[in-house]
Structures are given as C-alpha cells and as structure tokens.
Amino acid sequence: MQTSILKIKEEPNVFHDNTLDILGNGFNFSHEKGLAEWLKNSVDAYRRTGASDKDQFIIFRFTDGTRENPPSIECIDFVGMGYTDIDKAFKWWGDPNAATRGRQVKVFGGHGNGGKFYMRQMFQQSHFVTYRDGKINIFGFNENRKYGFVPEFKDKKINLTDAFEIAGIDEAIIPVSIMQKLNLGETGFTVVKGIKPKNLPARNLPAQRTCDKLKYHPQARSPLKFSNVSVIHNGRSLCEKLKMEEIEPLESFEKPFSFEIPELLDSSADIGESEKIYMSNHRYEKGRLVLKTSSLPFGRGGRKPELNCIDIIGEIGVIASYNMQQIGFLRYFPQAQYIYGECSCPILEDPDYDCVQNDRERLTDNEKTKALLQWIAKRIDEVGEKIAEKDAKKEEEKNIRATDEFNQILNKWKNQFMSKLFTEVLGGSGKGSSTGGEGDEGSGGGTRESSIDKGGLGSGGGKGGGQGEEKKKGSRSPLVLLSGQDDPDFPGVPVVFSERHFSVEQRQQDVDRGLYWINLEKPMAKKIIDKYGVDSPRWRNYLFQRYIDIFTIETIERLAKKEGGALTKDQTTQEILRITSLVYDKATVDLEDFLLNEKYSSTQRNDIQINQ
C-alpha cells in the first residue's frame, strides 16, 4: 500500500503552532542526527518492555524516488504503540517524562521532542504506522506541519498480514524470534516514515553515506553498541549490523586514562575571585573522565573528525558532546587530535541546576558547566603532554639513528685519513728517535697494530720497517661516539652530557681507550636539528666540525709530546691552522657530497674513498 497518499486529519497541537515553528527552527538538523533520534526512540520502546539488548532489532530502510513516488526514509522496530500511547505521550511536546511513559526505566530519550521535530521539519510529509494488540494506528504530519491521525486507520482492528501490507513490511526482513512473538500477539511493530527528505537528492538517496555519518553521531554511538541495527536500501541489505568500528589505540597509550572529578572545582570567572563549584553531593556521586587514544589523528586515514570529542554521559546516553575546538584552550592541541573520551558527571542532571539542553548537543552555559569543561581541558592537556613527550622521544631516537649513520661515515673516513694527517704534521718516514720508517706492516700513524695503510710513521718493528731506539705498539685511531649511546664497555649504561659540557667530551676513563663523545645536548646542536633537521647539510657540517676538533686535539697532543711536552703559542697557532687546512683540503676531495649536497643517501657511505 502506498502510504504516501494517506490523508491526515489535522488536529490542534498541544502547543500553539507559532511556538512549535520557533522551536522547530532549531531542529532543521542533519539527517544523521534525526535518524539518531529515531534510533533512540526505538531503543527506548524496547527498554520500556524490558527487552534485552540482543532482542532489540531495528531496521533503517531507504527507498529511492520514482516518477510515481518520492524517496523515503523509514525506521522500523518491533514493539508497537496503541492509541493511548499516541494520545497521551506522542502528542505532547517538552514533557521530560515522555520517553519513560510513566515507567521506572532508564531511557535514551529526553523531552520527547527530537524524533517528532525531525518528522515535522525535515520531510515534506511524515507519519508512522504502528500495530499492537491487533490494532493499527497511523499518525503523522502533513505538508502544512499539522499532525493528526489518518481517520480510517485510527485504532482500527486488523490482522497481522494486512498490517504488514499497509506498513510495506516483507516478513523476510523480520528475525525468526520476532516473527514468533508477532504471530502470538506478544509484540507489535512501528514504521516511522519520512517522505521526500529535505537537503537530499530528489530521487537517489545517499544511504551509505548517511549511515556512515549516523554510526559516528554522538547520540547514536551508545545505542548502536548494544542494539541490532540493520540497513536496507531499495529492498537490498546494505548493512547487517550498523556500528562504529573499533579504534586502535596509539602505541604506548593502549590503556585509557581515568580521572575522578573532584568534589569542588574553581569557577571560571574572569573577573574577581573564583568560587568553588560543587560537582557532587550526597545525592549525586563523583563523576569520572575517561580519555582514550587513537593510533591515527582523527581526520586522517579515514578516521572521522567527529570522534575527536568528549561525550558527556548522563544516567543513560549522551547528554552533550564537545569536539576539541569547543572544549576550550588546549596547549597541546596537535596531540589532542589523537584523543577522545567520555565524561560522566551525575550532578549535571540535577533539575535544580538545569545543565542539560533540550537538543542534547551542548550543556547549558553556566558556572558549573564552565568549570567542568575547564577541568576537562586540563586533563586533555595532561595526556597531550605525555603524547608530546613520547613523540619528542621518538623523534630524538630517529635523529640519533640518522646522526649515528653520519657519524659512522665520518668515523670510517677518519680511520682512513688520520694516519696521513699525522704523517703530514708529525714528519715524514725514515729513521727517528722513537719511530720506525716505512715497512710492509707499519701502523701508518697508529690506526691499528698492523695497518694496511703505508707511508705513515711505523710503530717500530713492522716487517721491513726502520727501527727506532725502542719498539712500541702504534696507538689506535680514536673512536668517536654520540652522547646518549651506551658506553661500549658497559652495555645498558648510556653516556649523557648536559649543555654545559663541551661540544666534544672525553671523560677520564675514555682517555686510555681513545674514546671521544660528540655532545648532542649543546644548544647549537639542538637548534640546527630543530630548525633544519638531521638530514640537512648544516647538520652534517656540524658533525664534521666536531671531527676537526678531535683531529686538532689528537695532533696537538702528539706534537707536544714530540717536542718534550709543550708547544709555544706561535707553534700552537701555526699547527692548528695547518691541521685545519689539511683536513679541509682532504674533505673537499673525499667528502664533497657528504658536506655540500642538500640530500645525502646513507647508501653513499660506502662510496667514500681516500684519494692517495
């Protein structure tokens, strides 16, 4: 039966039409919000009967338009209403007890306005077909936004089969357990139907997109967790169970953060002294804020930005919802984009404070709600700071890995080049007072006990080498490491310096080991990393400069030892200039790409060759 052609007999509204028009302007809302209101109404209908969650079946049905019939959206549940339910509850507006129908039961509905206003404001016409105890009723709104019954279907006795036909219900869509109850007369059904929805295409309805938005709507998320909600589009199943996907938590933040709301909070008064606001009392227990994390920031990778919010939970269901921009000032807003949560605060539903608004989108703006939101913002910042610290640590670890890669490159180059540097500065080959001449296995300046590099100062005793007054082992080329790394002789013990230490450090225990540390805590090091990044040539040059420092220290010490323990000021100045010049000349040939190219691949490290 085409119920779109049914004629409603207008009845006077319980409230004046002008009042409803004024209130209704605030209910020109999105269809996902309206469908959430219908969903809550259906769940409440089940709850009033005492039905368990598993026995609550709700169907959203979308039907595209044709030449003969406009498009429609329907919500079907298997409870049903009688004439008295409509006359004494549905007709009334603004009744805080409308959803409970006088029963002692917790329900999602508030003042009984949302679903009705959705019918009245967002469709050209709307009505519901409801069947219970063998009687059918059709009640709705016409194109003039006037409500009333369809006279021929007002508390009319009818069999179930005919009721299905009038409502357009195919038995195939009804669960077996529900069908058994319907045949026994133990339950009924209601089909709420909106005809020609506003702000949607004239014919082809975006059912998938609308339902995707619905499952993330604050008013729908909680009912969808427990009820069995399916979707049909043009007679075909679009979704067997509509629900929000699970959110994978951020690594290292898998467990929720739970905060108890203090009994007293400071008011958010901008002028004068703040007052203490009670957030619990002998009738209303303390509330709690639970914050969770997402592995991806909301708004990226398909994550819905509307989930990046704090839902304010009432005795049952969401009584308000705030996204992160609405919570208040957040110092760690980028990190807050990984956070979502729920806040329960029972005292908000105390009628004496009037904190809950009719549409349940936001709380009433008063000192109690301001103080709560301010407190919530601080807790979000606490979690955001922890995420920021973890991010900074990860970034630091990444920087250390990249820097260590470059440091290994310089270490390799240093091992190849240092013997040549010492040869140039300390003197040529041949006999000396303490060092041998060239030999097949001379240390070439002391990089190892037997070096592959020839032409340096022999360690005294290499095969074929000249012989000094005594035989000595060649000193090793120093090893350069980065601060924050473990001591090579004590795994698990990181070596850390402060910004007050030198750029290049050598502890007492490092001297005999020939070990140097580049201090990454120096302000200039941090500034370069923060401003330009570890992949920049500026950072590679900074590391290179530290190697020049080490070359200079090592060479001056050896020169001083050669000269009997001391160098004059002129000698020191001259040698520093000579060392620097030699290093830069060699680096120009060997490290041009490393030092000058904007991009430098770690695979190029094996390409560095020492030119003979």
What CATH number is associated with residue 177? 3.30.565
| Amino acid at site 44 | D
Q: Is residue 347's pLDDT more than 90? A: yes
pLDDT score at 471: 39
Do 9 and 141 lie in one domain? The reply is: yes
Residues 194 and 116 reside in one and the same domain:
yes
Among the candidates 346, 364, 389, a domain finishes at 389
Residues 598 and 481 in one domain: yes
**Element housing 406 (H / E):** helix 367-426
Overall domain count for the chain: 3
Tell whether the model's pLDDT for residue 137 goes beyond 90: yes
Mean pLDDT, residues 229-247 taken together: 94
Note whether 407 and 483 are same-domain residues: yes
Please, where are the H alpha helices in 64-206?
83-85, 114-121, 160-167, 176-184
178 has a pLDDT exceeding 80:
yes
pLDDT of residue 111: 46
Q: Examine the domain organization and report whether 336 and 397 are in the same domain.
A: no
Distance CA 381, CA 259 (A): 13
Query: Residue 195's beta-bridge partner residues?
Result: 72, 125
Claim to verify: residue 385 and residue 397 sit in the same structural domain? no
Does the residue 612 lie in any domain? no
Is the pLDDT at 153 greater than 90? The verdict is: yes
Residues 207 and 144 in one domain: yes
Specify the residue for token string 């094996």: 606
Is residue 154 within 8 A of residue 146, CB to CB? The reply is: no
Check whether residue 300 and residue 428 sit in a common domain: no
Q: Do residues 182 and 267 share a domain? A: no
Q: Given CA atoms 574, 575, 579, 582 in this order, what sign does their dihedral have?
A: positive
Last residue of a domain, which of 239, 267, 285? 239
503 has pLDDT over 70: yes
Res 88: pLDDT: 79
* Boundary residue ending a domain (389, 409, 444): 389
What value does the mean pLDDT of the chain take? Answer: 83
pLDDT at 63 > cutoff 70: yes
> Does residue 474 carry a pLDDT above 60?
no
Q: Which residues of 491-519 are buried (b: 16+ CB within 10 A; e: fewer)?
A: eeeebebeeeeebbebeeebeeeebbbbb
Average pLDDT over residues 198-227: 90
Burial class (CB in 10 A: 0-12, 13-18, 19+), 5: exposed
Q: What pLDDT does residue 563 have?
A: 80
Domain contains 546: yes
Of the listed ranges 69-73, 95-99, 416-420, the one predicted with least confidence: 95-99
| pLDDT reported for residue 432 | 36
pLDDT classification of 459: cutoffs 50, 70, 90: very low
Task: Determine, yes or no, domain membership for 102.
Answer: yes
Query: Which is nearest to 55 in space by CA: 37, 67, 43?
Result: 43
Instruction: Using DSSP bridges, classify how beta strands 236-239 and 189-197 pair: parallel, antiparallel or unpaired.
Output: unpaired
pLDDT of 360 reads 81
pLDDT at 12: 74
pLDDT of 131 strictly over 80: yes
Which residues, other chains included, contact 221 with Cβ-Cβ below 8 Å and sequence gap of 6+?
215, 244, 311, 318
Rounded to whole angstroms, the Cα distance separating 163 from 131 reads 7
* Rounded distance between C-alpha atoms, residue 594 and residue 606, angstroms: 12
Residues 34, 91, single domain; the answer is yes
Among 109-113, 274-278, 333-337, 349-353, which is the least confidently predicted range?
A: 109-113
Burial of 279 (0-12, 13-18, 19+ CB in 10 A): buried
Output the pLDDT for position 444. Answer: 36
Residue 273 has pLDDT above 70, yes or no: no
The proportion of the chain whose per-residue pLDDT surpasses 70, expressed as a percent, equals 81
Which among 162-171, 304-313, 389-398, 564-573 has the top mean pLDDT? Answer: 162-171
Helices 31-49 and 218-226: crossing angle in degrees, nearest 10, is 40
Above 90 in pLDDT, residue 280? Answer: yes
Residue 194 maps to a domain: yes
Domain extent at residue 585: 393-607
Q: Which residue would you say has higher pLDDT here, 591 or 449?
A: 591
Task: Determine the distance from the C-alpha atom of residue 183 to the mean position of all C-alpha atoms in its chain, rounded to a whole number.
Answer: 49
Structure confidence at residue 177 (pLDDT): 95
Higher pLDDT, 186 or 496: 186
Q: In this structure, is residue 252 part of a structural domain?
A: no
